[in-house]
Amino acid sequence: MTNTNRIINFSAGPAAIPESVLLEAQSNLFNYKGLGLSVMEMSHRSKAYDAIHNDAINDLKTLLNVPDNYRILFLQGGASMQFAMLPMNFAQHQPVDVIHTGSWTKKAIDELKKGYQYRVVASSEDQKFLGLPDASKISFNDDAAYTYMCSNNTIFGTQFKTFPTHSKRPLVVDMSSDILSRPLNVSDFGIIFAGAQKNIGPSGVTVVIIKDELLDTCHPDAPVFFNYTSHASANSLYNTPPTFGIYIAHLVFKRLLELGGLKEQEKQNTLKANCLYQAIDESSQFYCPVPKEDRSPMNVVFRHQDHNESIESAFISEAKAAGFDGLKGHRSVGGLRASIYNAQELAQIEQFSTFIREFSKKALVHSH
């Protein structure tokens, strides 16, 4: 536990939120900036909420250096809703090219199976998703509706370091688990989307960054609520948005700008990931199943050398007693996982790395 009696939270999402953001939200929860009401109680058509909403859009635009020919939308439903919305709008007449890298692209494929055409143009299924296809070598189809991929897989702990910008069709990327962890060249993408609950804020907000020219091609028969143009033309106020979540997201955006933007985040995230992977690589007890070049700096997946589940359980229990929580691997794969999004600080990762070293030594003595 830290001196604030807070745990160090390695949950994959919903995940840790910066303490400064929580403290600011807490002090304003009952009476926002002296206006006499909580952000949760503000009409989404009020001046006070309008300022929060537009500041959130503008600060995100600054952070990611989003060009003027892109729109930033705040929707609901998480990535799962995007899996269904994307083909409704863009895949009525053409197949989708999919890069399949695990559970999240599987869910997107499951939605495509509900009446759309798609082709898996690259897959890491033969590696059990514990690695990634080489993005630069994938062949795409020029007649595809769009190219679909997920940048970072939370379950298998993989991350694309570069994007396949040679596709001639719009690149649509699920960045739920690594958005804002590094700078992006937004012009390389047709659509970027992300559920908020990893690097942005609370669950219930989905960020969509969409190129104007794609908005013009949304299928007119798509349900009004699931048509991106409904939300774009109303500046994400087509219906009542998740106002409180957008407010928290804005506090996170503001903090990242104050900390120096995404180059600084990338630097910190690299230091954090290197520190933790090194502790695992050097451990006599644990190993990381992902090859170095594909490892995610967000979700560090590791296992006991012999997949000994009782040692993994003991690790989780002892870690929890020491104040480190959320370390269980995803229920579909088991093992261990430490999610280290932007909100985690290097000092916390160093503490945890020390814990891994000490546990490994102790386990080694115990096993002799």
By annotation, the residues acting in catalysis are 104, 174, 198
CB 154 within 8 A of CB 297: no
Query: Comparing C-alpha atoms, which of 331, 325, 337 is closest to residue 289?
Result: 337
Residues 254-313 that bind a copy of itself (CB under 8 A): none
DSSP, res 330: P
**DSSP-H helix ranges across 224-295:** 228-233, 243-258, 261-282
Minimum distance between the CB of residue 208 and a copy of itself, rounded to whole angstroms?
Answer: 14
What does each C-alpha distance from 92 to 45, 95, 116, 218 come to in angstroms? 34, 8, 7, 10
CB closer to a copy of itself out of 27 and 278: 27
DSSP, res 213: H
CB closer to a copy of itself out of 181 and 243: 243
CB closer to a copy of itself out of 80 and 217: 80
Residue 314, both tokens: 């003991």
Stretch that binds a copy of itself, among 9-17, 61-69, 252-260, 302-310 (CB under 8 A): 9-17
Question: Which residue of 3, 33, 45, 292 would you call a contact of a copy of itself, by CB under 8 A?
Answer: 45
Question: Which residue of 91, 205, 214, 251 would you call a contact of a copy of itself, by CB under 8 A?
Answer: 205
Per-residue DSSP letters for 89-150?
HH-SSSPEEEEE-SHHHHHHHHHHTTT--EEEEEE-GGGTTSS---GGG----TT-S-EEEE
What does each C-alpha distance from 84 to 70, 71, 80 come to in angstroms? 21, 20, 7
| 35 contacts a copy of itself (rule: CB under 8 A) | yes
CB 59 within 8 A of CB 257: yes
Minimum distance between the CB of residue 166 and a copy of itself, rounded to whole angstroms?
Answer: 31
CB closer to a copy of itself out of 222 and 363: 222
CA 274 to chain centre: 19
| 13 contacts a copy of itself (rule: CB under 8 A) | yes
Residues 67-86 that bind a copy of itself (CB under 8 A): 76-81, 83-84
Question: Which residue of 69, 166, 224, 313 would you call a contact of a copy of itself, by CB under 8 A?
Answer: 224
CB closer to a copy of itself out of 151 and 283: 151
Residues 93-152 that bind a copy of itself (CB under 8 A): 107, 110-111, 114-115
| 22 contacts a copy of itself (rule: CB under 8 A) | yes
CB closer to a copy of itself out of 132 and 196: 196
**Residue whose structure tokens are 């006991």:** 304
Q: What is the separation, in whole angstroms, between the first and last Cα of the chain?
A: 31
Residues 142-201 that bind a copy of itself (CB under 8 A): 195, 197, 201
Minimum distance between the CB of residue 306 and a copy of itself, rounded to whole angstroms?
Answer: 26
| 352 contacts a copy of itself (rule: CB under 8 A) | no
